[in-house]
Structure 1
Amino acid sequence: MSHSTQLTQIERLERLSFNAMHKKLLIACGIGWALDAMDVGLVSYVVAAIAADKHFALTMQEKSWVLSIGFVGMAIGAALGGALADRYGRKTMITYSLALFGCANIAMALSWNLPMLLVSRLVIGLGLGAELPVASTLVSEYAPRKLRGRLTVLLESFWAVGWIIAALIGAIIIPATGDWGWRIALCFGAIPVVYAVILRMHIPESVRFLQAKGKVEQAEQAVTEFELASGIHTDEAVKSFASDPLPKVHIRALFGNRLALRTVVITVIWIMINFAYYGAFSWLPSLLADQFGNLQHTLWYTVVMSLAQLPGYLLAAWLVEKIGRKPTMITFLVAATIFTLAFAHAQSVAQVLCFGMLMSAAHLGAWGVLYAITPELFPTRLRAAGAGFAASMGRIAAICAPLSVPVLLGMANGGKSLTFICFALAFALATCASFLLPEMANSELAE
């Protein structure tokens, strides 16, 4: 390759086809993502079990506190994690956040009163919130342009795996182990401590981040590893040519002329989807137990609904490159609105399972596209911070969602129907906001 055809390190990554290094990165981050989902999913089952524990005997209001305080931590963690990832690195934040929420799960499992439950759950949320947007940013920064959306949605699909595991633990382990069941279930949440050590050795740091910090040789090593996995041997002339240094950008640039509309629109979508999804699924085991009067049976209903998440993700992964980010986002949000409304009025077990599965698939398909498009909207210096800010505002809505459920249930003519009608309205608002998004398919990540 001659000097006239020199490529920057980023251009060399963009030209690659999907290879073993991409696969390794996707699976490594995906396992961490699944562990996050398992933890978030477990708490809805754990809260139902703690409420039945005579030592705690949580009221409806106290249950909502335990559910919501984790999202307080996630809101803080998402904002701090994104900013810290832009300063100290994607890899560093992913591994530290995994270790943090793994240790906090042990503390929650050992809790002897409500304040300790709440503090432990808050710290768990800090780790969870920091890890999620940073992992999606890292995968999107390594993915070839033509596959970037699909790989990010596939990363998000690991959420379904973790949620299904949580549902199985909730349906099998907790009922079988009596008053200690919820404590044993939380011990599964300690697995990320071990995995963080493994992950640290097996994922690369972002090339864009390394360039921004002037660590060109480390960036070169990472690019070369990905090229060799595709059978490409780049000559030294090309290897010596890195991207130009990136100008310093302050976080307030998220609301500058170029990015203000994008920041506001994607933040609104994050807020609406968080409110609807976490409001619905955090309370689902408890609401179905109230509707059908049998907690053990309804735990299995939630397992079935969780299984529907995988097809939702896989369909989104296919459509996001086939028809584009924006049309796919709108399609899934419209479906989520319709099926959430249908679930609001579901009475029989058959109706609950049918519309619950469709609702679950639509909700998670929308989540997949959201994680794919968010990092693409921001330049490298602000990518993790921008994704973290939107996620953080979304987590504030996730805090409000579980707290709103007891209020909606207690209103005249309220109950499950009014609760899910409100969640459907949130999806409808997210749909309207999505029309203002730019289409990012096949676009180059901005520096």
Structure 2
Amino acid sequence: MKSNDTSIEDVALSRFHQLLTVRSVGGSFVDGYVLSIVGVVMLQMSSTLQLDSFWEGMIAASALIGIFFGGFIGGWLTNIIGRKRIFFVGPVIFIAASLCHLWTDSIVAVFVLRLLIGVAVGIEYPVATSLLVEFLPRRYRGPRLAALALLWFVGAAFAYVVGEVVLRSGRPDAWQLALASGAVLGMLLLVVRLGTPESPRWLLGKGRGGEADAVIKRIYGQHFSIANLPEQPSDQKLPLSSLLRSGYGRRMFFVVVFWTCSIIPVFAVYAFAPKVLAALHLTGDYGSIGSIVITLFFVLGCLLATRLINVIGRRKMLIYSFLLSGLALLGLGSSDAGHGNMILLFFSLYALFIGGAQVLTLVYPNEIFPTQMRSVAVGIGTSFSRIGAAAGTYLVPVSLSSIGVANTMYAAAMITLIGLVVSWMYAPETNSMSLNEASALG
């Protein structure tokens, strides 16, 4: 049997890699859709169910609370029973929970359903990213992982378009139909993921070398084997408990803080974009179009970051992303209410510049932790970042009514500044490294 010494991290991009990318980024697309659609229907749902500020905040934060639990659950299960099985849990929950919106008119039921959807999203982060990064060649790892964040915003943009179309139908149950529409995307995601193999790295880590070898031969060809799979030697493997008491503890701190600081303003914008724009005196069609334009700039920012991540490098991209997006938030806070074009400009600049930090939330935690810790680390990062996001989202309506929209934007800028400082202190450069090199301490 002919053999070779080519690492599977250096092979050419194949049809399998392309399909696996679709299977993984498809989950991010659905995530963005199901999380953002509630922001589109919030005003009609609030009017129909007569929600006060408390319940508006709770509905907006419910999915984030679910993500907190889902991240822990997904990271743990993905590490214990494998990537392949957990890959189908999220789509099943998306389908069931979304459809249930059609038969509920209780705010408590809506809260529970949004919570379950959040759990599914939380599960998606560690499983989809771990599975993808453990198969991809190193040259394509950064851009393809970044594409997950990009497709999140594409899904969010699609949610705003679909939501507006459904709401303009004039039906009294339009908000229920919009929330239930996520079931269609969940079904498509479930179908496209059929046939996904288990990660050879995970199999090898569980002592199932024969199965890992069979997967590698099926995907890369009979002249490949586990000998072509670069992985940490067994004597260097660390128990999961070392995550917080070794050098990985500092890495975990970095991931949690920068991830949290990058998403708090973003989730606040998505959950309450119409309300924030209304507070800035952008109402009617101008406000609706503004929400879509801002979302499209988020997409553009992530697209540019995806294209440039291997050129600029991870560290520089993260630092400049926080710096420039923070300046945009300061500009937004200092803008005079009613100056619609200026407000949309600063909102769009923020959306454009925060793209770098957004795509790196899924790149860094997958690169700087070894296989036996990767999914757990992503799950922890997902969960703890959502504590801040949930608190921030819940406080947005309170903040708008108590301290005003300008001070709310200044507070968002301060959060971004914290992300900038922590990134300057701790962000490593992992560009062009193998997974072993990027995840090795020291």
TM over 0.5: yes
TM-score between the two structures when normalised by the length of structure 1:
0.90
Q: CA deviation at 1:114?
A: 1.4
Task: Call closer, same or farther: CA 1:236–1:402 in 2, change over 3 Å.
Answer: closer
Cα offset for 1:225? 4.0
* Contact persistence 1:109–1:187 (CA under 8 A): yes
Give the letter for the 1:380 counterpart: T
Distance (Å, rounded) in 2 between the aligned partners of 1:27 and 1:170? 24
SS across alignment from 1:178: coil
Does residue 16 of structure 1 match 2:11? yes
Q: Is the 8 A contact 2:313 2:431 kept in 1?
A: yes
Identical residues among aligned pairs (%): 23
Superposition pairs for residues 328-367 of structure 1, below 5 Å? 328-346=317-335, 347=337, 348-367=339-358
C-alpha change, 1:246 and 1:30, in structure 2 (3 Å) is farther
Contact 1:311/1:361 (<8 A) preserved: yes
- The code of the aligned residue for 2:394 comes to L
Consecutive unaligned residues in structure 1, runs of 5 or more: none
**Separation in structure 2 between the aligned mates of residue 389 and residue 68 of structure 1, nearest angstrom:** 18
**Counterpart position of 1:271:** 260
C-alpha deviation, 1:267, in angstroms: 1.0
Residue in structure 2 matched with residue 316 of structure 1 by the alignment? 305
Residue 171 of structure 2 corresponds to 178
Would the aligned equivalents of 2:279 and 2:405 in 1 still touch at CA under 8 Å?
Answer: no
Letter in 2 for 1:442: S
Alignment correspondent of 1:403: 394
SS at match of 1:161: helix
1:437 to 412, 423, 427: 427
Coordinate RMSD, CA, aligned? 2.4
1:421 aligned partner = 410
Seen in structure 2, the aligned counterparts of structure 1 residues 341 and 133 have a Cα distance that, compared at 3 Å, is farther
Query: Letter of the aligned partner of 1:176 in structure 2?
Result: S
Alignment equivalent of 1:259, drawn from 245, 248, 261: 248
Aligned 1:165-244 pairs, distance under 5 A: 165-228=158-221, 234=223
State which drifts further: 74-83 or 236-245.
236-245
Map of 1:121 onto structure 2: 114
Structure 1, 194-203 or 205-214: larger mean CA deviation = 194-203
Return the letter of the residue paired with 2:348.
M
CA contact (8 A) 2:216 2:225 kept: no
Q: Per-residue deviation at 1:92?
A: 1.8
1:351 maps to amino acid:
M
Counterparts of 1:13 and 1:210, CA distance in 2: 16
Q: CA separation in 2, counterparts of 1:89 and 1:16? A: 24
Cα deviation for residue 264 of structure 1 reads 1.0
Aligned: 1:30 with 2:25? yes
* Partner SS for 1:259: helix
Contact 1:60 1:406 in 2 (8 A): yes
Cα distance 1:323–1:240, how it changes in 2: closer, same or farther (>3 A)? closer
Question: What is the rounded CA distance, in whole Å, between the counterparts of 1:84 and 1:192 in structure 2?
Answer: 24
CA drift of 1:42 comes to: 0.5
After superposition, the Cα gap between the structure-2 partners of 1:393 and 1:350, relative to the gap in structure 1 and judged at 3 Å, is: same
Residue 293 of structure 2 corresponds to which residue in structure 1? 304
Give the equivalent residue in structure 1 for 2:98: 105
1:17 aligns to what SS in structure 2?
Answer: coil
State the AA in 1 paired with 2:320.
T
Q: How far did 1:12 drift?
A: 3.0
> Structure 2: which 5+ runs fail to align?
none
CA distance in 2, matches of 1:236, 1:402: 48
Q: Is the 8 A contact 1:171 1:296 kept in 2?
A: no
Q: Which amino acid aligns with 2:419?
A: A
Shift of 1:255: 0.6
Aligned partner of 2:368 in structure 1 is: 377
